[in-house]
Amino acid sequence: MLVKIMAILAHPDLNTSRANRALCLELQRAGVLLHDLYGAYPDWNIDVKQEQQLLLEHDRIILQFPLYWYSSPPLLKKWFDDVLEYGWAYGSGGDQLKDKAFMVATTTGGSEKEYRSGGFNRYTLSELLRPIERTLTRCDAEFLPPFVTYNTTKATDAELLQEAQRYAEIARMPSELLMS
């Protein structure tokens, strides 16, 4: 069975991001639909019905964003608030995301060593992403292990390309393999 994959991109200035642009290019080559929130909604007026339809049309949804103050950029948070409506995504009759697979793909300028207990940032990325994980599991969606690209400010173009190729491969892997 062919898995339809969409990546929701939430980068306020994708054109200036070496890392996120590299990740996007490889996803696009892999046949993943790219949906740029900041490009689609420069006025922040999210078309909720269109967003919900896109979610229904895809089996796996990747939320790709740079880590902003230990969270996602603000338009992605607004997207969660607007699109994941009571009665549609959760609550009474809200089962539209049941068993959909979600993955977070994030980039950070810091090293993996800085994102651990006792490290500079005190917490792992998995710990910092728990609010997003719980939001999606509250909607009965499957939360796949996150894909994190560390050291983006120091990475060479060749290193970013290698990471992007690994990302595209992981994005297409069966959920069972990612969860093992």
For residue range 78-103, list pLDDT tens digits in order.
Answer: 999 999 999 999 999 999 999 899 99
Interatomic CA distance for residues 33 and 29, integer angstroms: 10
The stretch 168-179 carries a mean pLDDT of 87
Q: pLDDT at position 1, please?
A: 60
Interatomic CA distance for residues 26 and 106, integer angstroms: 15
Going by pLDDT thresholds of 50, 70 and 90, the confidence category of residue 170 is: very high
Q: Per-residue pLDDT for 12 more than 90?
A: yes
Q: pLDDT at position 99, please?
A: 87
Q: Of residues 17 and 1, which shows the higher confidence score?
A: 17
Give burial (CB, 10 Å; 0-12/13-18/19+) of 95.
Answer: middle
Domains and CATH numbers, the chain: 5-179 (3.40.50.360)
pTM exceeds 0.85 for this model: yes
Q: pLDDT at position 121, please?
A: 85
Q: pLDDT at position 26, please?
A: 93
Q: Per-residue pLDDT for 6 more than 80?
A: yes
Average pLDDT, the chain: 94
Q: pLDDT at position 3, please?
A: 85
Return the sign of the alpha-carbon dihedral for residues 176, 128, 130, 141.
Answer: negative
Q: Give the DSSP H or E segment for 19.
A: helix 18-29
The stretch 6-10 carries a mean pLDDT of 97
Long-range contacts of 83-86 (CB under 8 A, 24+ apart): 83/46, 83/48, 83/51, 83/52, 83/55, 84/135, 84/139, 85/48, 85/52
Residues 6+ apart with CB under 8 A from 127: none
What is the C-alpha radius of gyration for the chain, rounded to an integer number of angstroms? 16
Tokens of 56: 């229904």
Going by pLDDT thresholds of 50, 70 and 90, the confidence category of residue 118 is: confident
